[in-house]
Structure 1
Amino acid sequence: MCYIGAIIFPTIGASMKLTTVATLLFSALSTQLVAAELDANKVKFIGPLADTATIKPNNTPYQAAIINNLLPKLQSDSKTLSILGKKVTWQPLGDVNDLTIAGLQAIKFNFSAERFVQGKLKLNGIEKAHVFLNGETLSGSKEYDINAVTGDHQVVIVVEQADDWKKVSLEYLPKAEHDIITLTTKETRALSAKQLFDAPTINSVSISPNGEYYVVTERHYQSNHGNKAINKTTLTDEEGKVLYRFDGLSANQIKWRADSKQVVFVRNKAVTVLNLKDLEEKVVAEQLDGAYGFQYFDNNTLVFAWSKSDKSKHTLVKHFRGLEDRWSYARNNSQIFMLDINSGFINPITEGKLSHSLADFDNKAGTILVTRNPSDYAKPPHMLTELVEVNLKDNQQTVLGQYRTFSSAKYADDGIYVVAGPDFANGLGRAIPENMLANNYDGQLYKLDRQGKNAKALSKSFDPAIGSMQVLRNDDVVIKVTERDTQQLYLYDESKARFTKLKTGFDVVGRFSISDERNPDLLVTGTQASHPQQLKRLDISKNRAKTLWDSKALAYDNSEIATLSEFNFTNKEGVEIKGRVYTPHNLDENKQYPALVYYYGGTSPVSRGFTGRYPFNLWAAQGYVVYVLQPTGATGFGQEFSAKHVNAWGEYTANDIIEGTKKFLAAHPYVNKDKVGNLGASYGGFMTMLLATKTDLFSASISHAGISNITSYWGQGWWGYLYSGEASKNSFPWNNPKLYSDHSPVFHADKVNSPLLLIHGDADTNVPPGESHNMYTALKLLGKDVELIEYKGTDHQVFARDRRFHWWDTMLAYFDMHLKDQPQWWQYIYK
C-alpha cells in the first residue's frame, strides 16, 4: 500500500483486508467513507465461557450484573481465565474456525488514537452482545458509537449469540478523515484519566502505640460502581496478616488505647470497643447523634466532641450575627465531653455559646487543651483564637493566650508546642526585614511553658513551612512541612534544637501515623512526581524506610509515564524560581508540541504529587509539554519569599510567570511558541484572568473558580475576609482602593485579546460564581472570545468521579480546540 497523509490506497495485488490499521478506506472512484474491517489477528477471542451453563444471561433478570461482574477479568492482561474450574485461553479471532460455540464468548482489542476520534464499530455475524469501551457500556445493536480521546483504549465485547463464528468480523467506520484508530498489541499503555482516578490508594493509616499492629483503608473505583468508592479497612499485624476488617469505617476513625489492647470506633451511631485479644466487640454507648472524634483519655474513659445543630433557623429572613454567619454551620455548637466506658456515664467538660475544639490532653496531669474563637475583627486576619486549659479536677478553665495567628497546640512534658505564623507572640517568629509584613500561612514552631508564657521560636532559621505536628514520648516532634514544592516529614530533636529530614523517599507525604514506643515507627503514605502512591514503614531512630504496599504494581505497571525534568530560572530581582517540565512519552524533539503552563500563585506551591485535581502526567500523555512553576509568594521557600505575597495580588507572580514562560520556550525549541496555553484555579484562576490583561503570550487560557474582583471576593466569599487578612493585610477598599481596583482583572477586561474559558461551580462558597460572571459579562460586552461553564451543585472543587472526568475532558478539549486546531472534542461535549 502507499500512504498519502492519513489515507491508505490499496496497490495492485494488495489484500483489501487491512492487516495493521483500522482506518479510512477509499475506492479509486469515490471519496465516500466506508467501514474498514479490523485485523482479526489483532483481535482476541476467548470462549466458551462456562459452556456447562444452559441458561444464558439474557434469559435471566440479572443480565447486567452477570456481565458486569465478569468484565474486570476480561479487561485484565491475563492470557487465561479460570471459570468453574476450567482454564480458558485468549486466542486471535482469526484462529476461530467453529460454526457455533456454547455458552458465552468474549472479544477484545486495543487501539490507539493520536487525537480525539469519532466513528462507529460494526459487529458482523453477532446477534446479541454487550460492548464496553474502557469499561463503560456502549449502547447499540449492530453498530456502536466510538468516541475516544488521545491515548490507548480497550474494547471488550461479551457475545451471547453468534450463529456462525466463521462469519464474525468487526468493522470501524470513521466519522471524518482524521478519525483514525490504530489497532495495537503493545505491552505498554498511555496513562489515562480513569487509571489515575480509579487506581487503588491508601487514604487513611493508623499504627498502634506499641507498633505491633496497623490499620489501613484502601480505596479504589470501578465503572460499574459509578461515583461510589470501594473501601477496605483492615487491621494487620507486623507481618502483614489481616486480623480484622472494619466494614464502613476509615482508619482515621479507629483510635487506639495506650496499651494497644483495644480500639474504639463509631459504627451505626454505636460507640464500640474492640478487644484485640479475642476480637470481641462491645457497644458502650448508642444514639449519640452529632458526637464525633472519640479517643481514649485513659484505659476507662473516652474523650469526644458533641455538636448540636441550630434548630432556630428563621424561614423568612436571616439576621446576621457576625461575619462568620455566612458559614452554614456557624450556629452549630460543639463542646467536649468524656464517656466512662464501664458505666456509660457522659460528663460535659466545656459549655457556653462558643464552640470548643479539642487540641490535646494530658491524662497524667488531668488537663485538656481546647481552642475557641470569639468574634473579634480588630486586627488581621480578623479572627481570634483562645487557647484554654481545663483542669478536670475542678473543671477550672484557664485562658493561656489569645492569638491572631494559630494552627495547633500539643502538650510536651515541660511545656506546650504551638504551630502558628511568624507573627505569633508579638512577631517572635519573624525572619524578614522590618519593612515587610509576614505571611502567617508560613507556619512556624514555638514552645510555651505550661502556663502559656515564655514563648520560644524554634524554626526562625528553618525555611520549610510547618503544617501538622505530633509530639513523641521524649518530647521530640515530628512535623509535616511544605519544603519548596514537596511535602516532607522532619524530626525536631528538642535536646539538640535541630531539624532532621526523615527519609521517606517521597516527594509528597500524604497520611502518617506514629507509634508510641521508645524507638517509634512511622507509617506513611506518599508519592513522587513520577511514581504513584506507596505505603512505607520507617524506623525513626534509624531513619530508614521499607515499602509495604505499592500501587504501581497494582495499576501502573505497564503505563507510559511522562518524562520529568527540572527547569529553574533566576528572575529579574535575582531570586531563583523553581519549576519542572513534563514531556510526553517518547518525545520527538524534531516535532513541534503545544504546551500548558500551570501555577497557583497563592500562598502555597504546586506540589509534586503524582496525580491530583490537575494531573500533569495525564496532560503530557495527551501530547502536551507541561511547565509547572512556583512563582514568588509561596510558602516553603523561606519567610522573605512568602512575605512578598502580602499586598501584592499577582504583582510579582505575574512577572515570574511571564518571564518563566519566555525562558521555558527559549530552552525547549520543540515547543510551538504559538500554541501555549495557561491555566490555574482559585488564586491561580485569578492569576489566569490577570495574565490575560497583561500579556498576549498565551494562545488560550482557563480560569477555574478564579477571582475577578478583589473587593467582591473579600466581601462575599465565605473565607474571603480571612484570606484577605493576609493577602491584603491592613489594606481595605477605603484605605487602598488602588490595590483593589488596579489588581482586579475585571477592571482591565478591555486588554484581554486571547480566548478565555471560565469554569466555576455554581455552589462555590469559597470564591462565589459571581467572580466568573463578572469577567464573562465584561468580555461578552467587549465582543471577546470567552466561554463560561458552570458545574451545577459543585463547590470550589470537583470531587465526584463522573464530574471529575467531564471537567478534565472540558479543559483538555478546550485546549485541543485552540492549541491543536482540533475542535471536534469540544463540539462533542458541548454540541
Structure 2
Amino acid sequence: MKKSLLMLLLSAATLSSIEAQTIQQMKAGGPWPVRAAFKTDTVGMNGSKYNPADLLRQAYDATDKDLRNVSADKDGRIAGRKAGSKAERSEMAVYSFALTAEHFAKGDIEVFGQGRMSLWLDDKQIGIADSPNSKGDTTLRFSASLSLVPGTHHLLLKSLLLEGDTTATDVRVVLKPKTARDSSALYPNYTGKERLSLKHMMSGTFLSGGSLSPTGKYVLTSYRVSRDNKPAVTYNQLRDAKGNILLNLNEKEALGWMPHEDMLMVIRKEGNTKRLVAFDPMGKGEKTLVSNLPESQFRMSPDARYYLFYKQEKGPGKDPLFIRHLDPDDRQSDWRDRSLIYLLNAESGVYGPLTFGYSTTYIYDIAPDSKRALIGTLSTDWTRRPFRFATIMEYNMETGKADTLITRDPSIDAIQYTPDGKHLIVMGSADAFGNIGLNLKSGVTPNSYDKQFFLFDLSTRKATALTKNFNPSVSAGRFDRKNNYYYFRAENGSRKQLYRLDLKTLEISQIQTGEDVVQWFGVAADNGAVWYSGQSANNADRLYRLDGTKGKLVWDLSAEKLANIDFTPARDWNYTAPDGTVVEGWYYLPPQFDPSKKYPMLVYYYGGTSPINRTLEGHYSLAMYAAQGYVVYTLNPSGTTGYGQEYAARHVNAWGDRTADEIIGATKEFIRTHSFVNGKKVGCFGASYGGFMTQYLQTKTDIFAAAVSHAGISSISNYWGSGYWGMGYSTVASTDSYPWNNPDLYAGHSPLFRADKIHTPLLLLHGSVDTNVPTAESVNLYNALKILGREVEFIEFTEQDHFILEPERCIRWTNSICAWFARWLQDDPTWWNELYPPVNL
C-alpha cells in the first residue's frame, strides 16, 4: 500500500514537471493573395485532380522576408480572420518560430485551429490539415513527433484560406516535451539567439582565399556557400585596394593573375579545347594567350614567354587476377605512373618534353629573369631512412642544360628563388645541409615535421640557417619584390601567424594580424600590398588588408555569422608538468554558465606532431561541443610542432610516452582547480594519432567515463606496414625502430596488446576505405574488447577514407560522437538508442 502510494506520488511529480508550453510569440507574414493555377486540362498527370490546398505542400523560405512580430492572446491563439462570411479571395499567411534543444530532446507539437495548415520543421513538412474544420479553434488539427538534435530548430506554419471558406484562421501551437529531462532542455526560443551546432559548421558562408594583382590595384577574394548539405558553391569578388567591392565575377575556373600585369587569366572550355584567356577585370578587353591549352595545371614564366606543365605517363598496368608488388608503395593506385615536365613556347606554339626518363620530375620555381628553373627528382632507397631523397637542379632555359645544386637530400620540402635571383629560400627540416639548422643536444633526433628556413647562395653553394633559434614551425611564403621582404605563415604554438623576413638584414618580425590563425594571405609582388584572412578561438572568418604593420578589417564575416550566436569565449589554461614543461591549453564553457553547478567535461587532443589551432569553426569545433552542456578543454602536449625543436623532438619514438602522462596530469589538475567540473563525468576524444591516444590513454588511467577514437591506431606494427603512409610517418614517430629491433615500442605501446587494461566505454569510428590508418585498426580492438566483455561500439562509415566528408555520413558521424557522450556523461541514452536501436541477434 505504502509502496503503491509512493509510486503514484513520484509519477504525479514527474508529470507535473513535464509542462506543455503554448507558443506565445511568432513572426508573421501576410496574408498575401494567392491565385489558383490556370487549368489547361481537367486532370493532371496520372489522372490526379487539381487541389488548390496543395499550396500547403510547397516549401517556403522565410529567411529574407520582412516578417512582423505577433503575440498570442490569453488563450494562446495567434489572431487571424474571424469565422463567418465567405472569403472573397484566396490568401496565405505564414508564422515562423524557433525551438531550442540544449541536448537531444523528444516531444510532440500540436496545432489547433479551424483553417487549412501545414507545419514545417527545418524546411521539411511534418504535419498538414488541408481541409477546414469549423468545429472550433480548440480542435486539434494535427500533431507531429519531434526528435531534435542539440541546437536551434526553425518551424514554419503555413495558413491557407481559399475563396469561399468561412472558417477562422486563428492558430494555436503547443509544445509537449516527452520527459522531465526534455522539458528542462526543449523550449521556444523568443530571443533569436542560437547555440552553435553542426549546422553552423556545415552550412553558411566561409572565406576560401584570394589573390592580389601584381600592382595591388585589385584583389580577387573568394568565398564558398554551403546549404542543405549540398556541395559548396564558390563565388569570386573583385575589390579595389581599399576593399571596396567592384564587381562579382562569374568566371569559375583557374582564375589567377598575369605576372606583372593586372589582368586575370581564365581557362575557357570550348568543346574539347581549353583556351587560356587574359582579360581586364573591369571589362576593358581581353586577349587569348593559348588557343589550345594542353593541360589545365601549369606554371607561367615571369616574362610570360613560356609555360611549364606536368604530363602524366601511365606505367605498366596490373593484372586483374594477381598483382606482383614492385614496391611497398605499389598499393597506391597511381604509383606506377610518372609525371614529366613539358614546355609550351608562347610565341611559336611548340609543345614538347623538357625532361625525359622513368623518374617523376618536379617544378620547384622559375627564376625572376625566366632564364632558369629549379627542377628536381625524388629517389627511393628503402634501406636508408627516411627512404626518400631529393635532388635539385637548376635548368638553363636557353641552353637546355642542368646544373645539380643539391644531391639526394632527405630533408628538403620546397625551394624558391629570391627576387634578385642569386639566392634560394629553402624550406626543410633542421637536419638539412649537414644539420646546420639543429638546435638540439647531441644525440637528440629532430622531428622532421618541424620546418625551418635556409638561405642558399647560388654562387658559393653554401646554405645559412635562418630559423635555427626561431621556435615557430614555418611554411613556404610569398615575396614582396618592391621592398625585398618574404612573408610566410608559421605555427606559433596553437596559433598560425604571419611573419616577415627582411632579405637585407635576415631579421624576422611578426605581423600583428588580430587573428589567432591566418588561414590565407596574398602579396602583390610588384608593390608589396598584403591581404589575409583569419579566424580565432572566439570568432569566425575575417578579411583584412595590411596597413603598415597592422591589419585593417575589410570584411567582418564573423560579425554577420555570430550576431545571434550565444557562446562563452575561450579561456586560456596552461598545465605545468612535474618536470616543469608548460603545456599550452584552453577551454570553453557552456552557454549561460553557472559556476555553482557541476558540468561534465570533454578533453580533446591530437597528441601527434601537429598542434591543435585556435579556430572557432570546424568539424571538431570545441565551442560546438560546449554548447551541448560540456566544459571542453584542449591542449598541445609534448611532441607538437610550433613550440621549438626540443619540444617537437619529444614525438620521436614516444608513441604515448610523456604525451599520455601530460594529458592525464593536465586533466586531473584541471578538475582539481575548477570546482564546476564533475570529475566523475569526463570524456576524451581524438582522431588518427589522436585516436591512438584515446585508446592508449584508457590503458593507463580510469579517469575517463567515456572515450571516442576515430581512425585510431591500435597496433603500431600493423599501421606501420599496412597504412599507405605508415612507413613514412614512422621514420619520425618511430625513428630507426622496427618491429624486429624494438618490440617493446611496437607491442608495448599498442593499445591492442594492452586491451585487457581498457575498462572505459569506448566508441570506435572508422571509414571503410581508410588508406592512411587501415580500418582493421578499429576492427581488431573491437574484437579484443568484445572478447574481454568490455563496453565497446564500432561504427564503420561506408565509402569513406580517413576523413568522413560526405555530408550525410558526416552528420551521422558527429551525432554518434555526441550521442555517445550524452549516454555516458549525461546519463541519457535516448539519442544513442534513437541512432542505434537495440537489436536482438
TM-score, normalised with respect to structure 2? 0.88
Show the counterpart of 1:383: 388
Shift of 1:308: 4.2
Whole-angstrom CA distance in 2 between matches of 1:810 and 1:571: 33
Residue 447 (1) aligns with residue 455 (2): yes
Q: Which amino acid aligns with 1:55?
A: A
Show the counterpart of 1:722: 728
Q: How does 1:662-811 map to 2 (within 5 A)?
A: 662-811=668-817
- 1:214–1:61 Cα change, 3 Å: farther
Contact in 1 for aligned 2:310/2:341 (Cα 8 Å): yes
- 1:472–1:166 Cα change, 3 Å: closer
User: Of 618, 643, 651, which aligns to 2:657?
Assistant: 651
Shift of 1:245: 1.0
Shift of 1:393: 1.0
User: Of 445, 456, 469, which aligns to 1:461?
Assistant: 469
Contact in 2 for aligned 1:387/1:400 (Cα 8 Å): yes
Residue 639 (1) aligns with residue 656 (2): no
Moved more, 378-387 or 198-207: 378-387
Deviations 1:304-325 (A, max 9, x none): 3333455734322232221222
Contact in 2 for aligned 1:400/1:451 (Cα 8 Å): no
Residue 273 (1) aligns with residue 265 (2): no
Percent of residue pairs bearing the same amino acid type: 31
Show the counterpart of 2:485: 476
Whole-angstrom CA distance in 1 between matches of 2:664 and 2:448: 27
Whole-angstrom CA distance in 2 between matches of 1:216 and 1:554: 18
Q: Which amino acid aligns with 1:265?
A: V
Show the counterpart of 1:47: 30
- 1:232–1:127 Cα change, 3 Å: farther
Show the counterpart of 1:179: 182
Shift of 1:468: 2.0
Contact in 2 for aligned 1:128/1:159 (Cα 8 Å): yes
Contact in 2 for aligned 1:604/1:634 (Cα 8 Å): yes
Contact in 2 for aligned 1:40/1:94 (Cα 8 Å): no
Question: Between Structure 1 and Structure 2, how many residues are aligned?
Answer: 786
Q: Which amino acid aligns with 1:198?
A: S
Show the counterpart of 1:102: 90
User: Of 798, 815, 818, which aligns to 2:821?
Assistant: 815
Shift of 1:736: 1.1
Whole-angstrom CA distance in 2 between matches of 1:504 and 1:669: 36
Deviations 1:162-199 (A, max 9, x none): 85344533233444443323223114221222122212
Contact in 2 for aligned 1:203/1:219 (Cα 8 Å): yes
Show the counterpart of 1:567: 573
Contact in 2 for aligned 1:42/1:184 (Cα 8 Å): no
- 1:187–1:293 Cα change, 3 Å: same
Q: Which amino acid aligns with 1:548?
A: V
Show the counterpart of 2:522: 513
Q: Give the match's secondary structure for 2:357.
A: coil
Whole-angstrom CA distance in 2 between matches of 1:317 and 1:161: 70
Deviations 1:581-637 (A, max 9, x none): 111122101111000001111111111011123110101111100010111110111
Residue 324 (1) aligns with residue 329 (2): yes
Whole-angstrom CA distance in 2 between matches of 1:160 and 1:64: 8
Whole-angstrom CA distance in 1 between matches of 2:715 and 2:53: 55
Whole-angstrom CA distance in 1 between matches of 2:365 and 2:510: 25
Shift of 1:432: 0.6
Shift of 1:289: 6.9
Q: Which amino acid aligns with 1:360?
A: D
Show the counterpart of 2:133: none
Show the counterpart of 2:138: none
Contact in 1 for aligned 2:25/2:70 (Cα 8 Å): no
Contact in 2 for aligned 1:56/1:104 (Cα 8 Å): no
Whole-angstrom CA distance in 1 between matches of 2:782 and 2:38: 55
Contact in 2 for aligned 1:129/1:161 (Cα 8 Å): no
Whole-angstrom CA distance in 2 between matches of 1:104 and 1:561: 37
Whole-angstrom CA distance in 1 between matches of 2:295 and 2:82: 64
Show the counterpart of 1:189: 194
Contact in 1 for aligned 2:683/2:706 (Cα 8 Å): yes
Whole-angstrom CA distance in 1 between matches of 2:225 and 2:751: 40
Whole-angstrom CA distance in 2 between matches of 1:639 and 1:64: 66
Show the counterpart of 1:248: 252
- 1:247–1:262 Cα change, 3 Å: closer
Whole-angstrom CA distance in 2 between matches of 1:45 and 1:515: 50
Contact in 2 for aligned 1:481/1:488 (Cα 8 Å): yes
Show the counterpart of 2:154: 154
Moved more, 116-125 or 549-558: 116-125
Q: Which amino acid aligns with 1:39?
A: T
Whole-angstrom CA distance in 1 between matches of 2:377 and 2:157: 60
Whole-angstrom CA distance in 2 between matches of 1:462 and 1:126: 73
Q: Give the match's secondary structure for 2:808.
A: helix
- 1:159–1:368 Cα change, 3 Å: farther
Whole-angstrom CA distance in 2 between matches of 1:261 and 1:66: 51
Show the counterpart of 2:544: 536
- 1:301–1:701 Cα change, 3 Å: same
User: Of 234, 238, 252, which aligns to 2:237?
Assistant: 234
Moved more, 598-607 or 102-111: 102-111
Please identify the structure whose Cα radius of gyration is greater.
2
Whole-angstrom CA distance in 2 between matches of 1:5 and 1:370: 80
Show the counterpart of 2:135: none
Whole-angstrom CA distance in 2 between matches of 1:254 and 1:720: 36
Shift of 1:280: 4.3
Show the counterpart of 2:397: 392
Q: Which amino acid aligns with 2:430?
A: P
Whole-angstrom CA distance in 2 between matches of 1:65 and 1:715: 59
Q: Give the match's secondary structure for 1:559.
A: coil
Shift of 1:428: 1.2
Show the counterpart of 1:495: 504
Show the counterpart of 2:5: none
Q: Give the match's secondary structure for 1:108.
A: strand
Deviations 1:486-539 (A, max 9, x none): 101111112222110011111011011111134x11121110100111011114
Q: Give the match's secondary structure for 1:455.
A: strand
Contact in 2 for aligned 1:255/1:295 (Cα 8 Å): no
Q: Give the match's secondary structure for 2:24.
A: helix
Contact in 1 for aligned 2:365/2:416 (Cα 8 Å): yes
Shift of 1:716: 0.8
Contact in 1 for aligned 2:201/2:619 (Cα 8 Å): no
Point out where structure 1 has 5 or more consecutive residues left out of the alignment: 10-22, 26-35, 82-87
Show the counterpart of 2:633: 627
Deviations 1:185-214 (A, max 9, x none): 114221222122212111121111110111
Residue 362 (1) aligns with residue 367 (2): yes
Show the counterpart of 2:225: 220
Moved more, 715-724 or 128-137: 128-137
Whole-angstrom CA distance in 1 between matches of 2:344 and 2:119: 56
Shift of 1:476: 2.8
Whole-angstrom CA distance in 2 between matches of 1:643 and 1:604: 12
Residue 132 (1) aligns with residue 136 (2): no
Moved more, 232-241 or 719-728: 232-241
